[in-house]
Chains A and B, each alone.
Chain A
Amino acid sequence: MTTADTIFWPVIPALKAVVILVVILHIVPGLVYFERRISAWIQDRIGPNRVGPVGLLQPLADVIKLAFKEDLTPQGADKWIYRMAPFLVYAPAVIAFSVIPVGIDLQVASFGVGVIFLLTISSFSVYGLAFGGWASNNKYSLLGGLRASAQMISYEVAMGLSIIAILMTAQTVDLNEIVRQQWGATTLGLVQWNLFQQPIAAVVFLVAAFAETNRLPFDLPECEAELVGGFHTEYSGLKFATFFMGEYIAMITMSGLMVTMFLGGWSVPWIEIPTSPTFGDVALSVFIFTVKLTVLLFFYIWVRWTLPRFRYDQLMNIGWKVFIPFSLLNLGLTATSGVMGWNWLIPLPW
């Protein structure tokens, strides 16, 4: 190691952290714009097209508008909790993204325990929703906050169980290792994605991810019609924007985890991962990850503007009476077939 290396060793990891954070924060306004355009397209409307070319500057205009709105604190609100609640939704979602590999061994930080770190951090966001609902001193907010916390903790169990099924298949908790196992070919001409190895876990995880991020058809905490926005009824200005950002970043984090665990992450299907990657290989892997992430985010938006909302009892029934028993059964199946050495998808030598 030369002197330059010893002096500059903090530069690369710090730069990596800054770049990934800046990209994540800037995806949000873009995603909001695309959601509005896609929803307009699905509903045969025009959508935002006035600010800038084809409405591209609309998110910027929205941010400026929100920043200069009056920031109200309702009477009788629990002031400090009211102020901290948006932050508690936003911060866990952003920090949880740090372990998701966006390219060949490229993530903010790789602990040996990627998935567990992500699960731990992201489950903190339930505090933000509960606190926001309680501190507003508003009946709608209280109901929204309670619904949100009950929904999130219920689906967290199903999500945890489906993640365990993946860990059983992968035999590791390192997300990069999980990706490395998924590039190859198998019987039936399929890629060795965990989506095909663990279809039940994939479905459970997908639905649980919708419920965890409070997206339609599981957006009961927000219910514009009955709860006028739920836990963020009383929020205005940048505090509302922080809630909003937190939700969208949580969506990106969940999609990133889904891509990594089920859809082969940054690996190119059927093409072997180079052991000593060049700059071009890394760029290609980032591109592949971005494409998969974009498809999944489009799917999120598509579902939101297609399906109606569930009733609350239906939501809780699906969570406790369908997903938890099914994921337990799936675990039993995975463990039995793993111990017995059965596998319906046999990896082919390439």
Chain B
Amino acid sequence: MIDALIGNAASREVIMLLAAGESSDLLAIVVYATLAIVVGLGMLFLSEVLGPRRKDSQKESVYECGVPLLDSAREPFTVKFYLVAILFILFDIETVFLLPYAVVYQQLGVIGLAEMGIFIFVLAGGLLYLWKRGALEWD
């Protein structure tokens, strides 16, 4: 299966990301990205330059419903968010593995389908396990 993946022109295309483009395409994307970045940074710069600047400790204080600030916002937050991030990495890597398969799955035929089926089955089992353990619950 690996040989089939690497040997296939479509997946070589995936590996040789920029090499696949012609020089005019490269030039166009460089011009486009540079201008987009210049416009974005220009807006940030203008926002520092234009407009009045009257410093005031009340004005610069952090908004908290108009009442005096109780404590800093730099506090620990719920561990749930870390869990989501870790799960995301797992499933995103799964997506990355599926990408080359998607382009060549017809050449790989039934054998490839079975192999990918086992891979997905294991991951779906993991998802089911997380579900049963309550990792996906928000309360």
Contacts and interface: CB of A to CB of B under 8 A. Distances in A.
B51 A69 contact: yes
A161 B43 CA distance: 36
B73 interface: yes
B60 A73 contact: yes
Interface in A1-20: 9-10, 12-14, 16-18, 20
Contacts of A172: 10, 103
Greatest chain B CB density within 10 A among A21, A110, A111, A173 is at: A111
Most chain B CB atoms below 10 A, which of A20, A168, A313:
A168
B18 A332 contact: no
A153 B84 contact: yes
A202 interface: no
A242 interface: yes
A176 interface: no
Interface residues of A, number: 86
Interface stretch (A49-57, A279-287, A294-302, A315-323): A315-323
Interface residues of B, number: 74
Interface string A210-251: 000000000000000000100001100111011001000000
Interface string A61-83: 00000011111111110000001
Please report whether the interface of chain B is mostly helix, strand, loop or mixed according to DSSP.
Answer: helix
B88 A156 contact: yes
The winner among A25, A86, A320 for most chain B CB atoms within 10 A is A320
Contacts of A228: 63
Contact of B21 (A14, A67, A110): A110
Given A70-B51, A98-B28, 5 more contacts: A109-B25, A109-B32, A112-B14, A116-B99, A161-B98
22 contacts: A17-B32, A21-B35, A21-B39, A70-B51, A74-B63, A75-B57, A83-B44, A86-B40, A98-B28, A98-B32, A109-B26, A116-B14, A140-B63, A153-B84, A157-B95, A160-B95, A164-B102, A167-B103, A317-B136, A335-B117, A338-B106, A339-B109
Interface of A: 9-10, 12-14, 16-18, 20-21, 25, 67-76, 83-84, 86-87, 90-91, 94-95, 98, 108-113, 116-117, 136-143, 146, 149-150, 153-154, 156-157, 160-161, 164-165, 167-168, 171-173, 228, 233-234, 237-239, 241-242, 245, 312-313, 316-317, 320-321, 324-325, 328, 331-332, 335-336, 338-339
